[in-house]
Structure 1
């Protein structure tokens, strides 16, 4: 994978948003979910970076699948924050959209990689 790939940049931008969300949540005394969302939301980019130096094509696909699972978990925490009225609709819609785009990119990368195995 190229170092300047779209998924690399998108996952970093998303992680930055998640860290900022964590600070917002902690300023509003929400510590439990903030810890969960920061772990899953930042893991996506960490796994993408890990996959850059995968030991094999299978290892690459495995890491990308785990990144997809983390993105899906992040969707859960974001939805929970919205449905409990901790996160406003405009903020939720924006970050949810970014997360959905990441998931689509990961699915595409996984599917393309599986075709070349």
Structure 2
């Protein structure tokens, strides 16, 4: 079992989820049940799956939940790219968020690989 609160990538994904929630308030109201809802769910899925996996009985189970978190990170990256292309986000804001989620992806991927090697 791992203490998820000490994992840097969990901490970063929590901070990132907060950014997405704050950003979503600035997006058009007509996207509330579409893109905004999807972005919020994907954003909170990242740290939630890291936390859930950390409490599982084996590294194999943890690895599975890390894979789900990674998938959510890529889903959110796609939604951010689309938001940028639809000009719902400014280029600077979108690029910063895409860089943030990319960093989280790399951290999860690296931890996942080390977990697999350890097993």
TM range (shorter): over 0.9
1:18–1:42 CA contact under 8 A, matched in 2: no
CA distance in 2: counterparts of 1:90 and 1:73, whole angstroms: 20
Deviation >6 Å, runs of 4+: none
Q: Give me the CA root mean square deviation.
A: 1.0
Q: 2:92 is matched with which residue? A: 90
Alignment of 1:1-117 (within 5 A): 1-2=2-3, 3-25=5-27, 28-29=28-29, 30-31=31-32, 32-117=34-119
Report the Cα offset of residue 51 of structure 1: 1.7
- Post-superposition Cα deviations, 1:67-111, rounded to whole Å, max 9, x if no partner, equal 000000001100000001111101101111110000000100110
1:14–1:98 CA contact under 8 A, matched in 2: yes
1:50–1:63 CA contact under 8 A, matched in 2: yes
User: Unmatched 5+ residue regions in structure 1?
Assistant: none
Aligned residues: 115
CA distance in 1: counterparts of 2:60 and 2:112, whole angstroms: 10
